[in-house]
Amino acid sequence: MNASTSTPAVSEADALPALAHLPVQVATVEGAAVRQQARQDVLAAEVPVSLVFNGIAHAVMMATPRDLEDFALGFALSEGILDDAAQCYGIEVRALAAAEAGLPPGVDAVEVQLEVATRAFERLKDRRRSLAGRTGCGVCGVESFAGLDLDLPRRPAPAWIGRVDLPTVLHAFAQLAPRQALNAEAGAIHAAAWASADGALAEVLEDVGRHNALDKLIGRLARAGRQGEPGFVLMTSRGSHELVRKCARVGIAAMATISAPTAMGVRMAELCGLTLWGLCRAPRGVLYAAPASSGS
């Protein structure tokens, strides 16, 4: 499958559901008694996803098994493995039964094979950094401070950045919940969304991991050839430094999050020249970094 294709192809991974239906017992306290009721509950699926570049396994992520072509390409771009989507020549997704993957019964997995340019592959081998099992803080396995990869160039603010004001951000967030299909059923699922500079919501990608959701969104934009368009990212999470770093690496100029950022997230936004909104819950929001106006 060509990485620049705008519509994801159907793959074997579609056999792994994004949601799981499990029997549970719901307990309710009624006075001095406890009443129990059996029911089926819907939970978010979380499966091991192995990212393999030119036949070499690079990282295993725990992710929701949906939009994995977007996820793999977005991860490669946001982690600096690829400079642009044209360096990815193909993506193949394959579901693996637990036994084939060497995992416990019932723990099925997915392997995503990416064929990338020689230059990108050589750079990947030279990084000498393990990302296996990368989670919340995004720095597991880093062996030195330099491995944090925080030294990104500051990008000039685009001319349209002033349009990403609070009314625009809140307008975009108001459109988000109805488009979080997986979260509506299971709860516990993050979304990363793309809005135009006037606040019109264009893309919504979901995953149990906020970093994964953002990578899926970055990959979706790249495959559609929409990188560089005026617009901003919305996240149903806090504004961590890792999310800011991913956005900055691929040239996204603004991000808005429903929860507060970390202090490191704000500092990274200032250093990278990224406009950062947080605590975006109508009728208010907090502008934590506005490099376009502050010049900091």
Residues 60, 134 contacting (CB under 8 angstroms) = no
> What is the distance between the alpha carbons of residues 98 and 107, in angstroms, rounded to a whole number?
5
Spatial separation of the C-alpha atoms in residues 69 and 114, rounded to whole Å: 9
Catalytic residue among 137, 140, 247, 272: 137
> Is position 140 annotated as part of the catalytic site?
no
- Give yes or no for a contact between 244 and 265, defined as CB atoms under 8 angstroms apart: yes
Please name the residue that has the structure tokens 């349209």.
Answer: 160
- In the three-class reduction of DSSP (H, G, I as helix; E, B as strand; rest coil), residue 179 is classed as helix
From 134, 119, 124, select the one nearest 48 (Cα to Cα): 134
Cα–Cα distance between 170 and 154 in angstroms, integer?
Answer: 27
Which two tokens mark 242? 């890792």
Sheet (strand 47-53) strand order:
56-63, 47-53, 109-116, 88-96
| Residues that are catalytic | 137
